[in-house]
Amino acid sequence: MTMTRQTQTRRAVLRAAMASAGLIGAPGILRAAGDVQRRNISAFRTHDWHDHFDNLGKGIIIADTASKMLQHWTAEGEMRIYPTSVPLTDELTKRGYTEVVEKRKNPGWAPTPSMRERNPEWPAYVEGGDPTNPLGTRALYLSWTYYRIHGTQDTRKIGRKSSNGCIGLYNRQIEEVYDRAPLGTQVKLI
């Protein structure tokens, strides 16, 4: 099966953009690309943090719900990208500026009141470390009530519209972001 010229051009543009941004060969990108289905890799649309923030501060996270990816810059300017799960519908999430206000290893999970209303059969609480816990191994709590950037035990969700409002990453990738993102990291959901 041969590639169309349009497909070849799109891939060439993506490779050139990633190379010029210094992204090719970055460890996080290589790990992220190995975990995502092929059709989702080409959907990544990277952003320049300067278009969204005045300074790096303690670091920046931009979560793009359209391209299902998260970019994370450290305070030193090192950037990595990760594939994500995103909300099922636009009504289930917020967009705009927030920040990381809390970090938890093996967080417990309780459905929000609106989740309980939609799914009364769901448990009231799931302990951290439980394989059925939808928050995975790490969670970054945002200044918005009920919104998180977290891991997931269900790797089928990554690269899809599958969450109830949060941004999900593979567990090993949220662990990496967790270690690199201090409290006060600036966040923007677009």
Catalytic residue positions, numbered: 150, 166
- Going by C-alpha positions, the residue among 145, 147, 14, 143 that lies closest to residue 81 is 14
Helices (H), the chain: 5-20, 27-35, 38-41, 113-118, 171-180
User: Which three-class secondary structure state does DSSP give residue 116?
Assistant: helix
Largest Cα separation within the chain, whole Å, is: 52
Place of tokens 């799914």: 119
Q: Where are the beta strands (DSSP E) in 143-185?
A: 148-152, 161-163, 167-170
